Amino acid sequence: CRTAMSLAEHGIRVLLLDRAEFPRWKPCAGGLTLKTRPYLPEPLFSEVQCSVYGACLTFGEEFSTRIRSQNPLGWMVHRESFDQTHLELARARPSVEVVLGTTVRRVTEHDSHVALETDQGELRAQVLVGADGARSIVSRAVPGHDLRAMGFAYEGEARPGPLRAGEEAEETLFDFRIFPRGYGWVFPKTGHESVGGFISVQKQPGIRDVYEQFCSETPRLKGAETYRSKGHPTSLGGDRRRLNTRRILLAGEAGSLVDPLTGEGIYYALRSGHLAAEAVAAFMREGTPLDRYGDQVRTEIQDDLRYARGLAGFIYSHPRRAFHLLLRNSLLCRWFVEVGAGRMNYKDLFRQ
């Protein structure tokens, strides 16, 4: 959607394909960091359900630390309505055509075009932007697909119990004890909370049981009614794979542009979607190679996520030690806030 809207500003015709029908539920924490704000037009920002002013970091009931701020640390959205609004904003552009319920089965790049084999027949385009997530079909047409680092997430929703009914939380929760090589989280929304776990390995037997244990042992969720849960793979950032060919670009999670430490993906989807549109516009108008996009993404995003991958490797391999050394350190916690705001990057944090 971000790419289509940006390309429409250049007057370029765009066909936006999705296999789903909208609105659709997408399991996602729905957290927006401060650095997403430049990519949120007002109708999209109006989908924010609440602002977050604090975070609680715990290691079960054994240790905890809190971060508080007078200003928002981020915002919470519900992906079902957020994505629907984003889609409608793109659809409203005269040069954007939206086709839903269409599955792309295969992508083949030729000298003069890209061919898409779909369940509705063949389509051709001068340029193809793949933004189709961790199970990306488009990614398979770009070298390096099989070398991606994969994680996993299991997510659901919870209605607050009787003691918290009517109470609106302003604090996120991150717990590093129960989920192996990852963390559990609770993110507030209007009238409910999103609950889940992020793990930095592709397969974790019994992940649903771990999720249910987290729900039952987390005091904040006491008496809560959990519903609508689902697991899904996550492609993790921090590699140096080139995300373009001559006529294909990968954006967002299709290009593994996901923070391997936190699992954050929305900002990187919006930012890479914007960069993809700028590169496509230059390609269509001046013939500028799409390598421009690959170079920008590597310099700005991929290289920085390599530092995040190093931090994630230590924290998730030694969670108790990491909690003592890092997550109980108030200065380091403030630096993490600066990363979320876009005022620092992981390279800065790693050096500090």
CB 1 within 8 A of CB 58: no
Q: Once rounded to an integer, what is the mean pLDDT over residues 80-100?
A: 97
Positive or negative, the Cα torsion across 106, 265, 238, 302?
positive
Question: Hey, is 140 helix, strand or coil?
Answer: helix
Q: Which of 249, 272, 246 is nearest to 259 (CA)?
A: 272
Q: Span 188-213, mean pLDDT?
A: 92
* pLDDT of residue 303 exceeding 70: yes
- Between CA 70 and CA 60 the distance in angstroms is 27
pLDDT value for 169: 65
Tokens 């099989």, residue?
A: 146
Q: Are strands 149-159 and 114-118 parallel, antiparallel or unpaired?
A: unpaired
Long-range own/partner contacts, residues 281-284 (CB < 8 A, 24 or more apart)? 281/6, 281/7, 281/10, 281/12, 283/127, 284/10, 284/12, 284/126, 284/127
Interval 10-69: pLDDT, tens: 999 999 999 999 999 988 999 999 999 999 999 999 999 999 999 999 999 888 999 888
**284 token code pair:** 């269509």
- pLDDT, average across residues 158-165: 68
Model pLDDT, residue 161: 67
Q: What is the mean pLDDT of residues 155-165?
A: 76
This model's pTM is above 0.85:
yes
pLDDT at 331: 86
- How far from 320 is each of 58, 64, 90, 92, 324, CA to CA, in Å? 10, 12, 45, 50, 7
Specify the 3-state DSSP secondary structure of 310. Answer: helix
- CB neighbours of residue 32 within 10 Å: 27
Q: What span, in angstroms and rounded, lies between the C-alpha atoms of 87 and 5? A: 9
> What pLDDT digit, counting tens, does each position of 230-250 carry?
999 999 999 999 999 999 999
Integer-rounded Cα radius of gyration of the chain: 20
Sign (positive or negative) of CA dihedral 130, 135, 140, 144: positive
Q: pLDDT-derived band of residue 352, with 50, 70 and 90 as boundaries?
A: confident
Residue 264 scores a pLDDT above 80: yes
Q: How far apart are CA 109 and CA 244, in angstroms?
A: 12
Q: In terms of pLDDT, which residue wins out, 325 or 269?
A: 269
Q: How large is the average pLDDT for residues 110-121?
A: 97
Mean pLDDT of 159-168: 61
Q: What's the CA gap between 268 and 234, in Å, rounded?
A: 14
Q: What's the mean per-residue pLDDT of the chain?
A: 93
Residue 168: pLDDT over 80: no
pLDDT of residue 202: 85
The pLDDT value given to residue 38: 95
